Structure 1
Amino acid sequence: MKVVAATLDDLLHEVFRRLLATGRPVVASRGPNLEKTGALLELINPRARMSRTESRCLLFSALGELLWYLSGSNDLAFIKYYIPDYPEDGPGISTVRAAYGPRFEEKIDWVIDALRAKPNSRRIVIPIYEPIDCNLDHAEVPCTCTLQFLLHDDRLELLAHMRSNDAFKGLPGDIFSFTMIQELVGRALGVEIGRYKHFVGSLHLYDEDQQKARNFIDEGWQSKASMPLMPLGDQRPNLGQLLILEEGIRNGLNPETPTALPDYWKNLAYLLKIYRADRDKAPAQRVRTLRAKMSNLVFAPYIDKRQRSAEKRDAELPRPTPTQLFTNPTNE
């Protein structure tokens, strides 16, 4: 099975259609599903990495997972902040054995240095899946085997090899994270990004998600939109600032966004603050204030959902009585 598409939504549309039509029924440890083996998924424009649909409009969890990877963390509480139902290895275990963060640690720097030294190398591979993973009985085992970076004609291609991929729940987030890493490396090397290729040993759609996949298809074609370009040059220092901001926001400290941070990274920081406001059930005005600070409208569909949720909460609050309007209990 091979699928080539310009955007993530186009790719998901075709993947779901083919799995539903010709996927082979199998029963796995996590339940019955429809499977295709040896699938190659190719994204022509890796910046078109965000779904614009109602059901897969999951920018906040995808961004959180990416930052979890790039922070080098294996902390369970970190990822559960963004993905509350993330599986646990066992009672009282506060870390994730399969976390990608420690496996990525310092390897992004190595990729950049190695490609600078030898641009034509075919050896620039980050291994994620380890031999020990075959013998451990954990809730999560890495689905990603390797990430290979290839530099051709001043364009950086990324090839991800997955041993297994949940097409509905896992695939969108994986493509978001890996293409962001592809662009981060490309900017550090001073080259444009080429196509993103995602090879999957077992690509599957669980029975419990089949109707959701049909609903996705029935939504029809979405407007085409890409994430803005990362600023030129090595963005690792700006990423480092975002990771510091993320930690503060996640821990409820509401850190000030540095004025010198480029708009690209400021926008991501404001998205993290909007997610925090939604988790805190803050008034809609908080979301509107943060939204007004953002310089790119491409994120509007993802913010709309949080803003509507806040506005609904505001509307359900009891209206103050005339006496309450003119009384300040804190001064009594």
Structure 2
Amino acid sequence: MQSTTFHSVHEAWRGILQQIKSVGECVPGTVDALSVGSAFGEQARDYVELLGASITVEAPRDRLVNSEARSISPAFLLANVIYAMSGSDDLSRIIHYNSRGTPFSDDGATLPNALGKRLCGLDTIDQFSACRSLLERDPSSRRAVVSLYSPDDAGSPSRDCPCLLHLHFLKRGDTLSCVVGVRSQSAAMLFPYDAFLVSMLQESMAVSLDAELGPLIFHFGSLHYYVDEEALVDLVLSESLPYPACMPPMKQAASDVLTELISAEEAIRTHGTLPAGLALDDYWRVYLKALRAAAQSRDSSLTPVDVEQSCFSYLF
């Protein structure tokens, strides 16, 4: 299948949903009791699928989507980036924002194959930092690959099987591109979150290398939505909502201010406040204010005044 190019993540999301609807093939649902595709053994869910699809997002900073039919949780969207960059597999830290992570845990305490754990939390190596160091030494390297799927995953008895296979960072001239290998992509429900996370990782890497943000390229093994989501897909495709604003350029790489970001997220999660004296620029201050407002709005009707003028305001 030929690759399709889109300007923004919003356009890419609508585009892949339309492609699946137009030319996808219906596949009988998996019966694997370890898979969310069978509701963990309760019910096989047939799905409509494209095999081997590829897309390119030309402007990954334009990473937000807008939909009333498929509402996006701003709290989870924003917190998940910090959670991944922290290298954690602690279930409690992320289910505060998204309780749907609970069934993927085997022990009720951890997500054994959490993306962040493999990205930068392994005992043997911080893959994200290693890729940065490699590209600093050799900007033309083709070896800057973060492996997110291990040989053990194919036969693992875990419910938590990585959907992303790898992140391949390629610096050409002054531009950093990222090629993402995806085992299985839930197009309707998860693509907006996955694209946001990966594009933030890409931009953090680009900033740390003093590079411009280049294209974000996805190669999907299985790109699909479930048959029981088809009505939702039709609603999303019928919407005529304004495109969300593009996020501003990142100035401080997330990896360079990670201690502050982790501290701030913990304070928001546990106390609903932001710590004073954080060594962060306006980009990350607005980001954290949006996270705080989103976390508050989950339990109250507080108006997120401090993000009214930001690119995140439409999410509330």
| Normalised-by-shorter TM-score class | 0.7 to 0.9
- 5 Å-filtered alignment, 1:76-155, equals 76-89=91-104, 92-105=107-120, 106-155=126-175
- Shift of residue 138, structure 1, vs aligned partner: 2.1
**SS, match of residue 53 in structure 2:** strand
One-letter amino acid matched to 1:297: S
**SS, match of residue 160 in structure 1:** strand
Q: Is the 8 A contact 1:164 1:201 kept in 2?
A: yes
Greater alpha carbon shift after TM alignment, 34-43 vs 4-13: 4-13
Match for residue 34 of structure 2? none
Match for residue 35 of structure 1? 49
Match for residue 312 of structure 2? 299
- Shift of residue 260, structure 1, vs aligned partner: 4.4
**SS, match of residue 254 in structure 1:** coil
Q: Is the 8 A contact 1:13 1:217 kept in 2?
A: yes
Q: Is the 8 A contact 2:8 2:63 kept in 1?
A: yes
> Percent identity at matched positions?
25
Q: Is the 8 A contact 1:87 1:139 kept in 2?
A: no
Residues in 2 aligned to 1:11 and 1:74: alpha-carbon distance in whole angstroms: 29
- 5 Å-filtered alignment, 1:1-332, equals 1=1, 2-29=3-30, 30=37, 31-54=45-68, 55-89=70-104, 92-105=107-120, 106-220=126-240, 222-223=242-243, 225-231=245-251, 234-252=253-271, 254-258=273-277, 260-281=279-300, 283-284=301-302, 287-288=303-304, 291-292=305-306, 294=307, 296-303=309-316
One-letter amino acid matched to 1:71: S
- Shift of residue 43, structure 1, vs aligned partner: 0.3
Residues in 2 aligned to 1:90 and 1:197: alpha-carbon distance in whole angstroms: 30
One-letter amino acid matched to 1:70: M
One-letter amino acid matched to 2:74: L
Q: Is the 8 A contact 2:102 2:108 kept in 1?
A: no
Aligned length: 296
Match for residue 33 of structure 2? none
Q: Is the 8 A contact 1:157 1:194 kept in 2?
A: yes
**SS, match of residue 85 in structure 1:** helix
Distance 1:59 1:5, change over 3 A: farther
Distance 1:224 1:169, change over 3 A: closer
One-letter amino acid matched to 2:96: Y
Deviations 1:157-205 (A, max 9, x none): 0000011111112211111111101100100111101100011011011
Q: Is the 8 A contact 1:26 1:33 kept in 2?
A: yes
- Shift of residue 296, structure 1, vs aligned partner: 4.6
Greater relative contact order (CA < 8 Å, ≥ 6 in sequence) = 2
**SS, match of residue 150 in structure 1:** strand
Distance 1:257 1:215, change over 3 A: farther
Q: Is the 8 A contact 2:244 2:314 kept in 1?
A: no
One-letter amino acid matched to 1:154: D
Residues in 1 aligned to 2:74 and 2:216: alpha-carbon distance in whole angstroms: 19
Residues in 2 aligned to 1:138 and 1:166: alpha-carbon distance in whole angstroms: 19
Distance 1:89 1:236, change over 3 A: closer
TM-score normalised per structure 1 = 0.84
Which of these two proteins has the greater Rg computed from alpha carbons?
A: 1
Q: Is the 8 A contact 2:247 2:311 kept in 1?
A: yes
**SS, match of residue 298 in structure 1:** coil
Residues in 1 aligned to 2:240 and 2:49: alpha-carbon distance in whole angstroms: 23
**SS, match of residue 216 in structure 1:** helix
Residues in 2 aligned to 1:35 and 1:235: alpha-carbon distance in whole angstroms: 35
Distance 1:234 1:32, change over 3 A: closer
TM-score normalised per structure 2 = 0.88
Residues in 2 aligned to 1:157 and 1:175: alpha-carbon distance in whole angstroms: 14
Runs (5+) with no aligned partner, structure 1: 304-332
Distance 1:209 1:189, change over 3 A: same
Q: Is the 8 A contact 1:144 1:163 kept in 2?
A: yes
Distance 1:269 1:131, change over 3 A: same
- Shift of residue 56, structure 1, vs aligned partner: 4.3
